[in-house]
Chain A
């Protein structure tokens, strides 16, 4: 499993766009990049997944450069409710059984 590196914490004001970058230099050809969000006292929740270029859903966008050695989770116009820990994971997306390894995560604090 590719190791991931992301900032331990970030602060942002409400209404701003937040970009959290994750480094995964050893990503394998078959690996996908997945982001989870965890609120206090809750289990993690899937946000978005991508393989290359850009993926967008109703919650976030994920930007992946051509070399795929990093990825950036973009949260548009954050609100206080976006305060959470965000985890970047890299692994195969084969279904059936996917061992998921969580790193330290990035603790995002949204400030009024």
Chain B
């Protein structure tokens, strides 16, 4: 299994500002995933971060709004840029197990509130 930590656990930010969320894994992994979970909703995949290459974004998400860094095999950051109240969500990172059943391990999430 993998243990994932995220910082910050929560934050309240003003609109127009940016927040960078950190994700740390206790083992080296190839892929890291970033999800958003809006209040009372399911998880939506934002992007996939592969070490050494540009992140791959899902439909509806763009790099200018959600820039991602992946400097090494245990760490990634997601920045929420130029925030608006609609960005208020829980942001989660995850990694995939390297062996069957290839389940995903999730971090505890970062609860973001934009005022």
A and B: partners? Answer: yes
Q: Which residues of A are at the interface with B, using a C-beta cutoff of 8 A?
A: 32, 34, 36, 41-46, 49, 87, 93-105
B101 touches A32 (CB 8 A): yes
List of B residues within 8 angstroms of A98 by Cβ: 96, 102, 104
Bound-state Cα–Cα, A85 to B48, Å: 24
List of B residues within 8 angstroms of A104 by Cβ: 42
A46 touches B42 (CB 8 A): no
**Which among A43, A93, A97 has the highest number of chain B CB atoms within 10 Å?**
A43
Bound-state Cα–Cα, A6 to B92, Å: 23
Question: Which chain A residue has the least Cβ–Cβ distance from B50?
Answer: A97
What total of A-B pairs shows CB separation below 8 Å?
58
Question: Which chain A residue has the least Cβ–Cβ distance from B109?
Answer: A43
A43 touches B94 (CB 8 A): yes
Contact A44-B104, Cβ < 8 Å, known A100-B45, A103-B42, A105-B42: yes
Question: Which chain A residue has the least Cβ–Cβ distance from B93?
Answer: A43
The one of A42, A49, A95, A102 in contact with B43, judged by C-beta atoms closer than 8 angstroms, is A102
Bound-state Cα–Cα, A95 to B104, Å: 11
A41-B109, A95-B98, A97-B31 provided; 12 other pairs, C-beta below 8 A? A34-B103, A42-B108, A43-B108, A44-B106, A46-B105, A93-B100, A96-B30, A96-B31, A98-B96, A98-B104, A100-B45, A102-B44
A42 touches B101 (CB 8 A): no
B92 touches A43 (CB 8 A): yes
Bound-state Cα–Cα, A46 to B33, Å: 16
The one of B43, B96, B105, B109 in contact with A97, judged by C-beta atoms closer than 8 angstroms, is B96
Least distance between A104 CB and chain B CB atoms (Å): 5
A43 touches B107 (CB 8 A): yes
